Amino acid sequence: MIEHAGGCVAFASPDEVPWDDEADVIVVGSGAAGWSAAIAASRAGADVLVLEKLEQIGGTTAKAGGECGGEPAPGELPQRAGTWLWICDHPWLAELGHADPRDDALRYLARLARPTQYTADSPTLGLARDDYALLEAFYDHGQRVVAELDALGAPHLRPLVDTWDYWADLPENQCPKGRALFVPLPDGREATGAEIVEAMSTAAERLGVRVKTSTPVHGLIVDADTGAVVGVQAGRSAASASLVRARGGVVFATGGFTHNEALRAAHLPAPITGGIAAQGSTGDVVHLASALGARFANMNNAWLTPMLLDHGAEPVSGAFRLPGDSMILLNRLGRRVVNEKVTYNEMTRAFLRWDEGLGEYPNRVLVMLFDHSVSERCRAMPGDAPIDEGGGNPLARAGGAAEHEIVAETLPELATAIDDRLIRHQDRFPGLRLADDWAEEAAKSISRFNDLARGGVDVDFHRGESRTQRARSGSPRSAEFANPTMHPFDHSGPWYAVLLVAGTLDTKGGPVIDPDGRIMRPDGSPIVGMYGAGNCVASPSGEAYWGGGTTLGLAVTFGWLAGEHAAGRTGLRSASTTSSRGE
């Protein structure tokens, strides 16, 4: 007999439920975290069923990266925007001659994840014991997970030899490059997220993993005697949902809540109005875990990125790298407000600043202002596709071909055109207009920037001072100026602008997990049989974005650990991998 507790949870004796299907482990979601969980559970001998609510597999992972469009030059291959995994102490670091000692790596992880708590001489570096344990698990197991995935071709991995971490110059970072991994393709290029999903799903299906698409999970079945999660209600609609038993557990890898307006408004800073996550990222696990009394954390944090104001019905990608040396970001007052060469996560924080004097968010929309030289040189960046092709370059391949670019001969004309564009978006940004003197203030900001560029030092925002910033800026146009990321603007016009807003790759808050991926209660006990990994849970990264590929590195590591532990509850797993933490 099934007793409904209201909402999305039903209590029953498992042997009395009229199950429609069953598996040892159910994985909900089919991005990198989900496939990693499925592969790990299957490798441990479990019968695994993956449930995906959308018509296609892949989640947000499948949206990461994209092949550049257009015809390549004779003898050249198409460019790609690759997708990476960031892992400490991975097996290929030794090939590069790099060491990544545990204590040093943990200091780097902790320093950025919990900056207000970090204490170098504390046994847990100032972090709560549970938070520190998650960082330990990431370091200790990430290397094993990627080695296992590589051995299965799920996918094959190689290190990015010359890619710096996002905080390469911090004293805590003793292994500042080489941690990022990519998937090599036969043509020598880097695989996109969709191609990584294809490799993982193919490996999973070889292991016997079953997959059902268009099958959202609407509720949980809980053992009335033990309180363990023993199954799900899943199907196209709640009314017609099937009852699917999970003998070992249910692993949620359903993504964050980027596309849940109510959750965004409740938890994220006000200027964030959306993001580039898969449309399935609506916070499904939030109400399910809430119904069972889960502890939640990190709900106010997200993987941040600027994105186009004019992004269409569904954003394709973020503005991950702003190209050009004669380029700056100005707010609605015409003032420069940020170092334009910091990484996208850190840059987006500038959009979120509240001005206590003005009583407003003056940076809700930032104007990426650039000159004709940047327009001519920076539309086909090596290794980075334009945004509308899935890459991170906000400049379209052909100048004047994209609606999101605004061009004018003078700054006053540009200001008028920008203001007209803002008027078109009053539904999203009510009342937001350029200041009346924007053109005059912009001219002052340009003049100030030009002086700094000639001097070679950005005393205002420190642009170009780190190795990461210089590496991400592209080749300088000449050696005339000391700072390769800065060059004086050409005042002759035309002037170009792209309007950017704050967005998310996805959110990274949700129910708290332990190192086995078990979803936890406030009292420190696990909700038996319920697991989580990826963006649907409280990320072990806290506030941090350690390097390119961090999201997928965490996803595959904790997905694997969750799948492994869930399989272990069925008694299938070998003693060498069985957790010592019990149920």
pLDDT tens digits for range 547-568:
999 999 999 999 999 999 999 9
Q: Is residue 262 part of a domain?
A: yes
- Give the residue from 461, 489, 504 where a domain finishes: 504
Nearest to 61 by CA among 538, 552, 553: 552
Residue 74 has pLDDT above 70, yes or no: no
Q: What is the pLDDT of residue 238?
A: 85
Q: What is the pLDDT of residue 205?
A: 96
Q: Is residue 72 part of a domain?
A: no
Over pLDDT 90: what percentage of the chain? Answer: 81
Q: Is residue 74 part of a domain?
A: no
Q: What is the pLDDT of residue 578?
A: 42
Q: Is residue 354 part of a domain?
A: yes
Q: Is residue 377 part of a domain?
A: yes
Q: How confident is the model at residue 82 (pLDDT cuts 50, 70, 90)?
A: confident
- Residue 239 sits in a domain whose CATH number is 3.50.50.60
pLDDT digits (tens, 9 = 90+) for 383-436: 677 887 778 889 988 776 688 999 999 999 999 999 999 999 999 999 999 999
Q: What is the pLDDT of residue 570?
A: 86
Using the Cα atoms of residue 37, residue 39, residue 41 and residue 47 in order, give the sign of their dihedral.
positive
Q: Is residue 430 part of a domain?
A: yes
| DSSP 8-class letter at 391 | S
Q: How confident is the model at residue 69 (pLDDT cuts 50, 70, 90)?
A: very low
DSSP 526-577: EEEEEEE-GGGS--TTTT---STTHHHHHHHHHHHHHHHHHHHTTT-S-TTT
Residue 267 has pLDDT above 80, yes or no: yes
Q: What is the pLDDT of residue 382?
A: 66
Measured CA distances, 336 to 250, 347, 441 (Å): 48, 12, 9
Same domain for 150 and 134, yes or no, is yes
Same domain for 333 and 248, yes or no, is no
Q: How confident is the model at residue 314 (pLDDT cuts 50, 70, 90)?
A: confident
pLDDT digits (tens, 9 = 90+) for 9-45: 999 999 999 999 999 999 999 999 999 999 999 999 9
Same domain for 114 and 182, yes or no, is yes
Q: Is residue 73 part of a domain?
A: no
pLDDT digits (tens, 9 = 90+) for 435-487: 999 999 999 999 999 999 999 999 999 999 999 999 877 767 777 889 999 99
Q: What is the pLDDT of residue 472?
A: 79
Same domain for 402 and 282, yes or no, is no
Nearest to 374 by CA among 494, 293, 519, 214: 494
Average pLDDT score over residue span 205-211:
98
Q: Is residue 475 part of a domain?
A: yes
- Residue 374 sits in a domain whose CATH number is 3.90.700.10
Rounded to whole angstroms, the Cα distance separating 211 from 41 reads 14
Note whether 63 and 81 are within 8 A (CB): no
Rounded to whole angstroms, the Cα distance separating 124 from 120 reads 9
Q: What is the pLDDT of residue 572?
A: 57
Average pLDDT score over residue span 326-346:
98
Q: What is the pLDDT of residue 71?
A: 36
Nearest to 322 by CA among 292, 279, 366, 280: 366
Residue 78 has pLDDT above 90, yes or no: no
Can you list the positions of beta strands (E) in 44-122? Answer: 48-51, 66-67, 80-81, 85-86
Same domain for 58 and 13, yes or no, is yes
What would the two tokens of residue 230 be? Answer: 């023993």
pTM of structure:
0.93
- Give the residue from 504, 539, 559 where a domain finishes: 504
Same domain for 327 and 280, yes or no, is no
pLDDT digits (tens, 9 = 90+) for 507-526: 999 999 999 999 999 999 99
Same domain for 295 and 314, yes or no, is no
The mean pLDDT value of the chain amounts to 92
Same domain for 445 and 546, yes or no, is no
Over pLDDT 70: what percentage of the chain? Answer: 93
Same domain for 535 and 452, yes or no, is no
The DSSP element (H or E) to which 504 belongs, if any, is strand 495-507
- Give the residue from 443, 469, 504 where a domain finishes: 504
Q: What is the pLDDT of residue 313?
A: 65
Same domain for 311 and 347, yes or no, is yes
Q: What is the pLDDT of residue 196?
A: 96
Same domain for 487 and 577, yes or no, is no
Which domain, by its residues, includes 395?
305-504
pLDDT digits (tens, 9 = 90+) for 102-135: 999 999 999 999 999 999 999 999 999 999 999 9
* Count of the separate structural domains present in the chain: 2
The torsion defined by the Cα of 6, 9, 15 and 16, in degrees rounded to 10, comes to 20
Same domain for 48 and 96, yes or no, is yes
